[in-house]
Structure 1
């Protein structure tokens, strides 16, 4: 196996810069006129939200590396300082692009659809009176101005809160700086303005025209009520982003749940990493804010209104279905729309493939429901990573325990930004008598696995559901994910061994069917590289080596080096990597035989599917793992071989359709940039649209 520092670092694309390219592709979807208008605004919101998380986690991590004197560089050779310099340059260009798109295009298109974003100063006198009355009664009581001077310290600015810097001209004290926090928990960002012919209290939508002001504009325009008798010079919005990457000394924590609860509370108070200000803010105000936050001028990002464009997702709540994607009905494989159908007998008739969101997630919920109520089921074991709120999965796990089943659940408390949800569910599961395991020291359990043990005439039978996505019915509507139900005995035995390792102790490293990553002890990387080497052998002997991989991220230098070796030996390699890709395709003599595309569309491409030609008898693996060092070194992950030939055919067809996409797909160039796939005279192929329209036509492999 090659070492990380072997070879030329020019063969690798920097992980962080590759992510920035991914977010640029998201922003490009906001520009795409083929999307309905509100969907374009949704993509702009996602772009902003993605950038917030990147700053909270990745940029803060690089800053910690610099502070800690980290000398080791990633395979691409860029130092943390060099990475930060490139990140700032690219991000600031993207922010300006996003501002221009909103200001010059989307606002105008909204207005054409009678969805108007007003400046408070442009409202009529009657509308201003109505909005001031609303401000006094509703918003004013929730505001707390906080000035700072010799006797009052600079107020704490919480992570991602929207604030106003209020400048007051005091005849005695001179210019005074005061901060007003916008109460986002209590109010929507978009405040509806009554039309001229509606009474002041008629702030509800009238069904024909929508008029809004941003809440910060409403507050700024009535801020005189907060500072009576004072000369308010101006108000400027700003946002502070803080380090939100929780670091837990697990080996020093006597109680992991308590340690994570305490650490989550620190997320809002982490060290600042970014200051966002409106372009109109004077330089002297920016300098004061940056100094008080211990940030340099390079950490100040200027935006047009509105800041925090992630809040633009509120536009999706407007009742204008004509400006959104057309709804569709998910497919039910094998007649699963009948919840009373014996799901266990259906699985015994043959393995079942689900491709969400084109297939309904309800059968997965129904599997747990039937297991909870079935007197023949004796045990359920499950991993939970991100289950969301009001989870029906947790509901049926608790019901199973109430019905006397043995229920064990591995709840990963360290699932980033879902810690609080998972803590809440873990406590409720424990209170219902479920055996809950919180996590494993030093690694995250990211595997998606459910195992049900049932007493039958033939003896004990183990039913397994595994997949690429979380047990979350909300994200199952917008993430593309595979799931497979099976009662294959070998997979069932491996699942049992893995759960025993999760809840107890085990020295087992290699499994009979599953490919398992278990922190540093798993064999997944070696087995994947083994499959790649096998294709090199097939190419050298039979001339038919072929590899097709679809995943979220490709960063692991060992796997990338193996793919380069395959290309150099003539193996054709097709990659589809949604997000970060550190591999450079198309380098002469290195990666000539590798093509890599990325799809950003209506749904988040979240599937992982690994296909190896295997001399005409394809090997297909699917599961939770991307090819990243974190997945292969610091997590529990599984990839499961697909054994059912009908499902193999289905998955290969799905793979081919996605590789043929020439509408949403972009091609990765060797310099790390992406270009739209050249359609030439080919018929348009939108893989996601195709799946919606054709999903049920060819998935009828089982009774």
Structure 2
């Protein structure tokens, strides 16, 4: 289906729902179950024959990692509410206890499917000369190799522990993996229970010597069972099992913390010791060992999941082998924008020429790094301000900020300590910036600062010019290789003033007044979105074209969903590309019959947040109002975080977003799942000889259509809608 075909396609016939439910909880889908549905879509990519074999294995691993995080945060929170007797229903009407029951049932099916998919992939891997051995299949030469490897690389880091009154059960950290052993002493037949915690520092799959060009691996737990005699001399194993724990990983921080950094350091230690909320255990574990583990970890039977297969399936990512390029996605090198090369790499000159939009990962994130590195080295730059929510461990952005501070420039870094699972890394980065002389601020105790903003103040011709970068994604060079995001560079004075007001707000708590081209949460962003939805409704009732296109990770905020329902009821045509959580019910007669929802799951993780309003014209249109944002349409983003919504008014930038990026996402077939009124997602697979449009491939193969930061006004492609 081409873009034009998609735009002309009629909305599907609506489904009936009793009108009395239009204002009741059934108008929403449950957040947690919707997230699980997304993770099912991730796992199903592992079964997609159009995806290279080892990339399919990566999808299995990702689905497992996702599920672990979901349990340690979302399920842990629901569990605590249920245990404390809180039964207030969510927006969809389900209580915490009801949600837990549905989540656990669906998650168990998902974990069973992960094992099924892994077993199928393992067969394909063997055909592709990648073999997972068992301890029973090892040859003499393998044992000789393992003898040396075990003694030199594994034995020194193991801590085998007997379990008896003198040796209490040890602490097993979150995602900790261990072997439980039932043994008998050869001399007197004395029984012993023991534990062998497995450090994260050891690879889960041990490489064996290559044989006839076949790469072979042995699971670590198989290796350990082989060498139990070295760990417990004089004992023989009479039974064993493996287990893995997940703990409550949500953080609690005191509202009146005097030192936010110190409070987070303490909270991180508490997280490590959170309650066990899920225990995965080998199926057919000896009864004595099973009881000991459950009793010592204080888990209920309902929180125990017996696994026949690989425990800790997230570790399969180790088998995504870099040396098997034939089984991975074809390599791809992001492009350097033409306008930057035209100016010999000078980012300031390129931005001065015209506002510049980059579409990552198709255009390299290195331009964002270069922007800050150039600022650090430029003697005419006086000040740099930067938000840091997540970034890489060895961050070139932090390095540039430190260099700038050490050179005497005024550097302000807003480091968000509450970025989940990156808290410790962000504390380290903050300490490093402070040592370099940067002014580090941490924002609000109760609100996360999730906005993505950089400003550089430069002296030019006797006046100060502010160069500003607004992004939809984190300042993280590694994730920028696989996340689709937008980077907007400008030296527009109004946008620079708006960014400065946001920094002043987070650092000084004074709510910004008079924002010229920016809306921020938790104050004006949601209001702006809803006001523009109402305008589209007015256009529809006046007989004008009325359309909304939006692309987000998640939509669950009830006021936003109700505003979309009202717009649909007034005749606005709404197309949503929602990768993950979706609480809206599309295609309900009288409620949402003008709303379509699709999800794209593919090679790159769709992460950019975009919304386009027709403004009285059919989309795509030069007259549309086009916005990019750091915020998903969720309660946390709109009501409890500092986020940005930037209107793009430059014609070139608008055309890139609405008639290239959004239109290609809406036209995608190859990676798209379409949402039904009952919340299920379906994907059409191409018939033999049929080719589906793939938006990721399209952007990789079409440099002139990929968020072309170097485009001039004459390069704006002709819009395809003939009525505008």
Does TM, normalized by the shorter one, top 0.5?
yes
CA deviations 1:405-425 (Å, max 9, x no partner) are 111010001111111111111
How does 1:252-263 map onto structure 2 within 5 Å? 253-263=257-267
Q: Tell me what 2:702 maps to.
A: 694
Counting only pairs closer than 5 Å after superposition, residues 230-629 of structure 1 correspond to structure 2 as: 230-251=235-256, 253-337=257-341, 340-457=344-461, 459-508=463-512, 511-518=515-522, 522-616=523-617, 617-629=623-635
Distance in 1 between the 2:549 and 2:511 partners?
33
What secondary structure, in the 3-state scheme, does the structure 1 residue paired with 2:178 have? strand
CA positional deviation for 1:181: 0.8
> Per-residue deviation at 1:84?
0.6
Partner of 1:84: 100
Equivalents in 2 of 1:674, 1:602: separation in Å? 19
CA contact (8 A) 1:119 1:217 kept: yes
Which secondary structure state, in structure 2, belongs to the residue aligned with residue 382 of structure 1?
Answer: strand
Q: State the partner residue of 2:671.
A: 664
CA contact (8 A) 1:551 1:578 kept: yes
CA offset at residue 65 of structure 1? 0.9
Q: Look up the match of 2:232.
A: 227
Q: How many residues align?
A: 683
2:198 is aligned, of 154, 168, 182, to 182
Q: Which residue of 1 aligns with 2:130?
A: 115
1:673 aligns with 2:680: yes
1:42 paired with 2:52, answer no
Offset at residue 282 of structure 1 (A)? 3.6
TM-score norm. by structure 1 comes to: 0.94
How far off is 1:441 after superposition? 1.6
| CA distance in structure 1 between the aligned counterparts of 2:200 and 2:306, rounded to whole angstroms | 21
Q: Which moved more, 1:622-631 or 1:272-281?
A: 272-281
Distance 1:123 1:417 in 2: 39
2:286 and 2:577 map into 1 onto residues whose CA distance is 46
* CA distance in 2 between partners of 1:190 and 1:336 (Å): 44
Query: 1:608 deviation in Å?
Result: 0.2
Distance 1:339 1:598 in 2: 38
2: CA distance, partners of 1:542 / 1:459:
49
| Aligned residue in 2 for 1:30 | 46
| Contact map agreement 2:526 2:638 (CA 8 A) in 1 | yes
TM-score by length of 2: 0.91
* Mapped partners of 1:300, 1:350: distance in 2: 59
**Contact 1:241 1:275 survives alignment (8 Å):** yes
The alignment yields a C-alpha RMSD, in angstroms, of: 2.0
**1:470 shift after superposition:** 0.8
Q: Distance in 2 between matches of 1:193 and 1:376?
A: 57
State the partner residue of 1:199. Answer: none
SS state of the match for residue 702, structure 2? helix
1:336 to partner: Cα distance: 2.4
1:324-349 Cα offsets, whole Å, 9 max, x none, are: 00012212223424785332122111
Quick check: 2:88–2:96 contact (8 Å CA) kept in 1? no
In structure 2, do the counterparts of structure 1 residues 505 and 134 end up closer, same or farther at CA, with 3 Å as the change threshold? closer
Deviations 1:630-680 (A, max 9, x none): 001111000100011111111112101111111000011122211004769
| Cross-structure match for 1:200 | none
**Residues 17 and 283 (structure 1 numbering): CA distance in 2 closer, same or farther, change over 3 Å?**
farther
Q: Distance in 1 between matches of 2:571 and 2:39?
A: 33
Q: For 2:600 and 2:466, locate their aligned partners in 1 and report how far apart those are by CA, in whole Å.
A: 36
Tell me the distance in 2 between the aligned counterparts of 1:339 and 1:61: 52
1:124 corresponds in structure 2 to: 139
Q: Secondary structure at the match of 2:665?
A: helix
Distance 1:64 1:217 in 2: 36
Q: 2: CA distance between counterparts of 1:509 and 1:625?
A: 20
How far 1:284 sits from its partner (Å)?
Answer: 4.7
In 2, Cα distance between the equivalents of 1:220 and 1:239?
17
Following superposition, the deviation at residue 217 of structure 1 comes to 1.0
- Cα offset for 1:596? 0.3
The alignment partner of 2:218 has SS state of: strand
* In the alignment, structure 1 residue 64 sits paired with structure 2 residue 104: no
User: What is the match of residue 656 of structure 2?
Assistant: 650
Give yes or no for contact 1:468–1:606 (8 Å, CA) kept in 2.
yes
Q: Distance in 2 between matches of 1:346 and 1:694?
A: 22
Q: Indicate the larger mover: 672-681 or 654-663.
A: 672-681
The residue number in structure 2 matching 1:98 is 114
User: Are residues 306 and 509 of structure 1, via their aligned partners in 2, closer, same or farther at CA, if it must alter by over 3 Å?
Assistant: farther
Counterpart among 208, 228, 231 of residue 193 in structure 1: 208
Does structure 1 conserve the Cα–Cα contact (< 8 Å) formed by 2:387 and 2:454? yes
How far off its partner does 1:70 sit? 2.0
Measure, in 2, the Cα distance between the counterparts of 1:543 and 1:677.
33
- Displacement, 1:509? 5.5
1:682 deviation in Å? 8.0
Secondary structure at the residue paired with 2:542?
helix
Structure 1 unaligned regions, length at least 5: 197-205
Show the counterpart of 2:161: 146
State the alpha-carbon separation in 2 of the partners of residues 462 and 554 from structure 1.
34
> SS of the residue aligned with 2:576?
strand
Q: How far apart are 1:697 and its partner, in Å? A: 5.0
CA-to-aligned-CA distance 1:524-577 (integer Å, 9 cap, x gap): 111111111111001000241111110001010000011111111111110011
Partners of 1:508 and 1:230 lie apart in 2 by 71
How far residue 267 of structure 1 moved from its aligned partner, in angstroms, is 2.2
The 1:507–1:183 alpha-carbon spacing in structure 2 relative to 1, beyond 3 Å, is closer
Pick aligned residue for 2:640 from 619, 634, 639: 634
